[in-house]
Amino acid sequence: MTGTTPGRALITVPLGARSYDIHIGEGLLAKAGDIVAPFLKRPLTAIVTDENVAQAHLASLERALAAKGIRSTAIIMPPGEATKSYQHLGDLCDRLLVAGIERRDRIIAFGGGVIGDLAGFAAAILRRGVDFIQIPASLLAQVDSSVGGKTGINSPHGKNLIGAFHQPLAVIADISLLNTLPRRELAAGYAEVAKYGLLGDKPFFEWLEGSAEQIMRGNPEARIRAIRTSCEAKARIVAEDETETGVRALLNLGHTFGHALEAATGYSQRLLHGEAVAIGMVQAFRFSERQQLCAPGLAERVAKHLKGVGLPVHASQIPGQLPPPATLLEIMRQDKKAQGGKLTFILVRGIGDAFIARDVADHDVLNFLTEDLRQR
Ligand code: NAD
């Protein structure tokens, strides 16, 4: 499943005819033409990106494609979560058509999770489906959103409610791109890295406890190992349960709590997705302790680790007012992960030992939130 040469890793997501490789390494953008060219039926593509990524890296990607004789049209979207909307989806599809993208052409999603989700969904519906390649530019996108084929946009009714499963043809994760990522965004992506340790790999979490600083500072070996291990975990889970009928739900550790906080703060800069996941994971551990599912003290250990990279670990760190616990519970019920109105939580028996709990009583959650939000 994995091949590793110094400074580079190759992971296959085994999905039969839809299997694909994740290339991880330093300086891969300059070689993107070599990886992309074999997938193209003719030497033409469209690059979907956002203003920040375009400013820092678009010229390098265009050069790398041109070096292989590939003509590209760049479509530059505004940065931020608000871009995952019906309006921007429609605009993007029209611009792809104007760029002359045909059924057998491929498009490139070049950006963070917002661009990957939006461009991937546009690819899924354009001309009834064109294939696409992910070049993730944020840490969150390199370890999570670019792998696994979930694409989509937000609706006024909630996050990621409109979308499709559409696997990419390849993922190219160049760790050099992370050098221009704002530190707050880097930390937000780190929350998803820690998630893989917390949900199913205790030795990985223990390694992270000793290596987080190197990862954050940009040590290439540490970054590659963190991204490789995260992608291997995601690939394994996605291969087992592509469309989330079972085990894939484990990847939502911290997300039921976290999504409620994101919704309550309007998906704004007040709280980034990864920050919400960090707070949500600590809540999941604290709730599990309270339900006597795991040993006391683990939530504190997790919080200490996440705090160490500069992540918020408690809802009181979110600027501004939060709605009351009953409203947060109501928001959780609207989450697409709710089934028949019943909430699904990912809870833990220990570090690296998460499980899916479908029988959590509303009043237990409400009591927990009431007490948790009162603290600190
Ligand atoms: P993002 O795409 O908004 O990127 C974060 C910010 O960093 C943006 O301002 C972006 O312009 C900037 N940026 C990205 N790469 C950069 C770089 N190399 N240099 C400079 N600036 C850069 O957000 P994100 O955190 O990458 O992704 C969050 C999104 O991912 C959410 O919408 C979430 O729902 C989605 N997501 C999807 C999945 C999935 O499986 N599809 C999984 C997790 C999260």
CA of 375 to the centre of ligand 1 (A): 31
Which tens digits make up the pLDDT trace of 322-369? 999 999 999 888 775 666 767 889 999 999 999 999 989 999 999 999
Do residues 192 and 147 share a domain? no
Return the best residue to mutate from 22, 29, 52 for the ligand 1 pocket (most ligand atoms within 8 A of CB).
52
User: Looking at 180, 198, 233, which one is the last position of a domain?
Assistant: 180
Return the best residue to mutate from 114, 167, 175, 277 for the ligand 1 pocket (most ligand atoms within 8 A of CB).
114
Alpha helices in the chain (DSSP H): 32-36, 51-53, 59-66, 86-98, 113-125, 139-140, 183-200, 202-217, 220-240, 255-264, 273-290, 298-308, 325-334, 362-374
Euclidean distance between CA atoms 186 and 304, whole angstroms: 18
Do residues 332 and 273 share a domain? yes
Query: Cα 61 to the chain's mean position, in Å?
Result: 22
Query: Cα 259 to the chain's mean position, in Å?
Result: 13
Do residues 86 and 154 share a domain? yes
Q: How many CB atoms sit inside 10 A of residue 324's CB? A: 12
Ligand 1 close to Cβ of residue 145 (< 6 A): yes
Indicate which atom in ligand 1 lies nearest the CA of residue 139: 26
Give me the half-sphere count of Cα atoms (radius 13 Å) on the Cβ side of residue 323: 16
Do residues 204 and 256 share a domain? yes
- Angle, alpha carbons 343-349-352 (nearest 5°): 105
Q: How many domains does the chain have?
A: 2
Ligand 1 close to Cβ of residue 185 (< 6 A): yes
Do residues 259 and 122 share a domain? no
Do residues 162 and 233 share a domain? no
Shortest-distance Cα residue to atom 40 of ligand 1: 145
**Cβ atoms of 190 and 141 closer than 8 Å:** no
| Strands 106-111 and 131-136, sheet pairing | parallel
Do residues 65 and 169 share a domain? yes
Q: What is the DSSP string of 23-41?
A: EEESSGGGGHHHHHGGG-S
**Cβ atoms of 76 and 59 closer than 8 Å:** no
Shortest-distance Cα residue to atom 20 of ligand 1: 181
The amino acid at residue 236 is R
Closest of 217, 105, 124, 129 to residue 162, by C-alpha: 124
**Cβ atoms of 136 and 119 closer than 8 Å:** no
Q: How many CB atoms sit inside 10 A of residue 346's CB? A: 25
Closest of 81, 65, 157, 69 to residue 116, by C-alpha: 81
Ligand 1 close to Cβ of residue 81 (< 6 A): yes
Shortest-distance Cα residue to atom 27 of ligand 1: 113
Do residues 284 and 320 share a domain? yes
Do residues 176 and 187 share a domain? no
Do residues 152 and 188 share a domain? no
Digit-by-digit pLDDT tens for the chain (376 residues) are 455 566 899 999 999 999 999 999 999 999 999 999 999 999 999 999 999 999 999 999 999 999 999 999 999 999 999 999 999 999 999 999 999 999 999 999 999 999 999 999 999 999 999 999 999 999 999 999 999 999 999 988 888 999 999 999 999 999 999 999 999 999 999 999 999 999 999 999 999 999 999 999 999 999 999 999 999 999 999 999 999 989 999 999 999 999 999 999 988 899 999 999 999 999 999 999 999 999 999 999 999 999 999 999 999 999 999 999 999 999 888 775 666 767 889 999 999 999 999 989 999 999 999 999 887 5
Return the best residue to mutate from 51, 89, 117, 162 for the ligand 1 pocket (most ligand atoms within 8 A of CB).
117
**Cβ atoms of 251 and 201 closer than 8 Å:** no
Ligand 1 close to Cβ of residue 77 (< 6 A): no
Q: What is the CATH number of the domain that holds 58?
A: 3.40.50.1970
User: Looking at 122, 153, 180, which one is the last position of a domain?
Assistant: 180
Ligand 1 close to Cβ of residue 195 (< 6 A): no
Which domain does 68 fall in, by range?
Answer: 2-180
Residue count (the chain): 376
**Whose structure tokens read 């599809």?**
93
Euclidean distance between CA atoms 371 and 139, whole angstroms: 33
Euclidean distance between CA atoms 94 and 290, whole angstroms: 51
Shortest-distance Cα residue to atom 2 of ligand 1: 112
Long-range contacts formed by 177-180: CB under 8 A, 24+ apart: 177/29, 177/53, 177/56, 177/57, 177/137, 178/138, 178/139, 178/142, 178/218, 178/223, 179/218, 180/56, 180/57
Shortest-distance Cα residue to atom 26 of ligand 1: 112
Please report the pLDDT score of residue 342 as a whole number.
76
- Catalytic residue positions, numbered: 128, 150, 192, 234, 244, 248, 252, 255, 259, 273
User: Looking at 138, 163, 180, which one is the last position of a domain?
Assistant: 180
Letter string b/e over residues 291-301, b meaning 16 or more CB atoms within 10 A of that residue's CB: eebbeeebbee
Euclidean distance between CA atoms 355 and 247, whole angstroms: 9
Closest of 140, 74, 84, 85 to residue 107, by C-alpha: 74
Do residues 207 and 155 share a domain? no
Shortest-distance Cα residue to atom 5 of ligand 1: 112
Q: What is the CATH number of the domain that holds 221?
A: 1.20.1090.10
Do residues 226 and 116 share a domain? no
